[in-house]
């Protein structure tokens, strides 16, 4: 898992619209509405931030892409009880209000704890595990985005900052959301997370972190 190299824009006051250059395609993500577009070339009208992924060789469909979150044992009764309000708030955003504002509000929830002290590794694992254990029994869509936002919100509710990430992988192009621990390592993810480059963090569009090699090659 890597952090993207951003041209233009850094910290965000509101959800941005970013263009991701994968090396063979351009992915436009409007983090205000959740709209995603795939382009074969850079749109002439785009003048916003451009996130350049490390160019990878094309696999021509010979690489497998996992789309199932790794299952984790349900443990930590206290954390599972604490995650109920976080899941409820996430569900309220998902199913109430205009659909075009859902992504904006989900990002707002994921960023609520950005001014708090970083969460410890064991707390991050407990939050992610609890949210997945509870949300898998709920109706509706509870995939990586919803679960990672709920886990980030849960940590904020207990007074800790979560390092939430939303990123892109190329070949094939796909999106994913996850949380990393204080050491920069993704929590509760399989080895396929190494294919993803982080685009958005609680502080805005991702930028390289010098000397933080665990963020670049996992």
Beta carbons of 49 and 7 less than 8 angstroms apart: yes
Write down the pTM of the prediction: 0.81
**Residue 62, CB-side half-sphere exposure with 13 Å CA sphere:** 4
**Residue 69, CB-side half-sphere exposure with 13 Å CA sphere:** 24
Confidence of residue 62 (pLDDT cuts 50, 70, 90): very low
C-alpha to C-alpha distance for 192 and 10, rounded to whole angstroms: 27
C-alpha to C-alpha distance for 192 and 102, rounded to whole angstroms: 27
pLDDT digits (tens, 9 = 90+) for 138-147: 888 899 999 9
pLDDT digits (tens, 9 = 90+) for 163-187: 999 999 887 889 999 999 999 999 9
C-alpha to C-alpha distance for 18 and 52, rounded to whole angstroms: 10
C-alpha to C-alpha distance for 174 and 168, rounded to whole angstroms: 6
């Amino acid at each position: 898992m890597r952090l993207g190299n951003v041209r233009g824009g850094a910290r965000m006051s509101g959800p941005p619209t970013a263009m991701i250059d994968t090396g063979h395609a351009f992915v436009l993500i409007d983090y205000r509405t959740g709209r995603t577009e795939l382009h074969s070339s850079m749109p002439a009208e785009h003048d916003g931030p451009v996130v350049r992924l490390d160019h990878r060789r094309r696999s021509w469909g010979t690489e497998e892409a996992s789309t199932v979150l790794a299952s984790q044992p349900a443990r930590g009764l206290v954390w599972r009880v604490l995650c109920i309000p976080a899941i409820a708030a996430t569900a309220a955003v998902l199913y109430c209000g205009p659909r075009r504002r859902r992504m904006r509000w989900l990002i707002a929830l994921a960023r609520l704890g950005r001014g708090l002290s970083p969460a410890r590794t064991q707390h991050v694992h407990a939050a992610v595990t609890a949210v997945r254990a509870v949300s898998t029994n709920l109706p509706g869509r509870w995939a990586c985005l919803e679960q990672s936002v709920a886990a980030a919100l849960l940590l904020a509710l207990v007074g800790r900052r979560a390092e939430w990430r939303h990123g892109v992988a190329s070949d094939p192009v796909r999106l994913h959301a996850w949380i990393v621990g204080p050491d920069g390592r993704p929590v509760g993810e399989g080895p396929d997370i190494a294919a993803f480059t982080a685009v958005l963090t609680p502080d805005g569009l991702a930028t390289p972190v010098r000397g933080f090699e665990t963020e670049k090659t996992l």
